[in-house]
Amino acid sequence: MDHRHGFLNGLDEKKPAFLHRSDRWMGILTVIENNRAQHQAWGPWTIGSVRKIKILSFLFGLMVTVLIMASYILTRDQKGLFLTPSPYHLTVESHPAQLPLNLSFATDYTVVREVVRSIVAKVDFSQRRVPDLRQVREKEPNRFQAIYDHLRRAFSAHLHPHAGRQYRLRCLPFFYIIGQPKCGTTDLYDRLRLHPEVHFTTMKEPHWWTRKRFGIIRLSNGFHNPYPLNDYLDLFDQAANQIQDHLTSNSSKTHKKVDIIIGEASASTMWDNNAWVYFYDNGTEVEPPFLVQDFVHAVQPDARFIVMLRDPVERLYSDYLYFGMANKSVEDFHERVSESLHLFEGCLAERSIRSCIYNTTLNNLMPVRLQVGLYVIYLLDWLSVFSREQILILRLEDHAANRKITMRRVFEFLQLGPLTLQKEADITKSPASNTRRPANRNLGPMLPITKEILQSFYEPFNQHLAQVLRDPAFLWM
């Protein structure tokens, strides 16, 4: 999964606009335009060419300096930017600590701690309004109706004759691995696909429910043609054809049982609703009226889901190391955390916790993905449409300590048949997947003050998660 920070110029063919334009920005633009005009006015080479080259070099250096300063200011003074087209504008309260942190001053640390206290005081675990099935179906009538019509027209081309009749089997997944990123989902996927009864999509993480069906590959690249449902079903055709071969090869009148289940693993399915603001806005609500799980439930109300979680503090640091830019450092991580906390606090000053978590503009603006670690909000929203028995929640820490126990829980949840001791050993003893890169390991752990700040931020959410799951292990204390 690709994650980038920066401008999202491709969306809706609109470029980022300044919400609060000031004279300094007009001055910068004027300098740039004047330099461009001078450059265009220069004619062929003359005796004074050398002097003009010196002037041009000076102006070019000045312009580069101004642009670098502007870029720096933009990344620090983010409260004046509107990065993505949205039905509402995100305003953020100004704080003196939004300047680059000097870790040698205790006052900076005190200010950030006060920001966390302010956020915690506003935390509310109220339930979301769940749309009824009719609303979900009617929200995309043109999109899905066209897909269904196409499938009906193309269906005959894929039929197979058997006993004088024509058949074709198409499949959706029996289960989904839905989250969270940097929580061990890749390792779980790699182990589970070694089970002889389990088949996955031909590619890991298709991100169809959250992105591809809207025409999103990466938000930073804008919108493309939506991937139709037929394309999504194609990802399961290898398993579907194998099941069909089992069925058609049976000469008896009663088909024998085929022990194959199909899974799909996209870590974005649980949390990523960033596309809602472009498609489901009704002009009145600041919380998304529809979530990904509403559409999954409308199509597959009996599906099963596996969620892998880890200490959200460590998850965020791992996320930063994996997706961050060059020149990563523990000091840079601390500054990004501080900036993100200030932005989150500014949103909570005006909106609910759920509105801020699903705020597309805020999500793209924060230097680190704080919101992804607020597991209980996402889980409660999934439990608003699916039953607790349909969702298996695991901890990465438990999986790392004893993979055999974790995998047995998964096998039982998916109702898989027994394995030989050798096959179980092959699945549980293989090296862990997607471990931290050596260069990132050399950075060492985050700063102690960063860890303390993040622990205070995530604590109320972890407490509520432990209450919902009735398991104190999810406190991560």
**Residue pLDDT, tens place only, 184-206:** 888 999 999 899 999 998 778 88
Contacts of 354 (CB under 8 A, 6+ apart): 126, 128, 287, 377, 381
Find the angle CA(172)-CA(149)-CA(209) to the nearest 5 degrees.
35
Question: What's the predicted TM-score (pTM) here?
Answer: 0.72
Average pLDDT, the chain: 75
For 374, other C-beta atoms within 10 Å of its C-beta total 24
Q: Any alpha helices (H) in 306-388, and if so which ranges?
A: 312-323, 330-348, 353-357, 360-365, 375-383
Residue of 129 and 57 predicted with greater confidence: 129
> Which contacts of 469-477 are long-range, i.e. CB under 8 A and separated by 24 or more positions?
469/393, 473/395, 473/397, 473/398, 474/309, 474/395, 476/311, 476/312, 476/313, 476/397
Peptide bond preceding 180 in cis form (omega within 30 of 0): yes
Round to whole Å and give the CA distance between 180 and 6.
23
Is pLDDT of 32 > 50? Answer: no
Residue of 239 and 91 predicted with greater confidence: 239
- Partners of residue 435 on adjacent β-strands: none
Give pLDDT, residue 222.
72
Pick from 17-21, 63-67, 248-252: least confident: 17-21
Per-residue pLDDT band for 418 (boundaries 50, 70, 90) equals: confident
- Partners of residue 84 on adjacent β-strands: none
Give me the percent of the chain exceeding a pLDDT of 90.
35
Is pLDDT of 249 > 80? Answer: no
Give pLDDT, residue 264.
94
- Mean pLDDT calculated for residue range 401-425: 92
Closest of 294, 251, 268, 166 to residue 210, by C-alpha: 268
Residue of 3 and 410 predicted with greater confidence: 410
Residue linked to tokens 């960063």: 450
Contacts of 440 (CB under 8 A, 6+ apart): 321, 322, 328
Is pLDDT of 71 > 70? Answer: no
CB 364 within 8 A of CB 347: no
The 3-state DSSP class for residue 81 equals: strand
Per-residue pLDDT band for 285 (boundaries 50, 70, 90) equals: low
Is pLDDT of 150 > 60? Answer: no
Pick from 165-169, 308-312, 366-370: least confident: 165-169
Pick from 108-117, 133-142, 345-354, 460-469: least confident: 133-142
Is pLDDT of 138 > 70? Answer: no
Give pLDDT, residue 255.
53
Round to whole Å and give the CA distance between 5 and 369.
10
Closest of 278, 360, 366, 359 to residue 13, by C-alpha: 278
Give pLDDT, residue 403.
92
Q: Which helix (H) or strand (E) holds 305?
A: strand 304-309
- Mean pLDDT calculated for residue range 146-150: 51
The amino acid at residue 370 is: L
Find the angle CA(151)-CA(153)-CA(158) to the nearest 5 degrees.
75
Residue linked to tokens 């020149």: 327
- Mean pLDDT calculated for residue range 394-411: 93
Is pLDDT of 464 > 50? Answer: yes
Residue linked to tokens 């999504």: 232
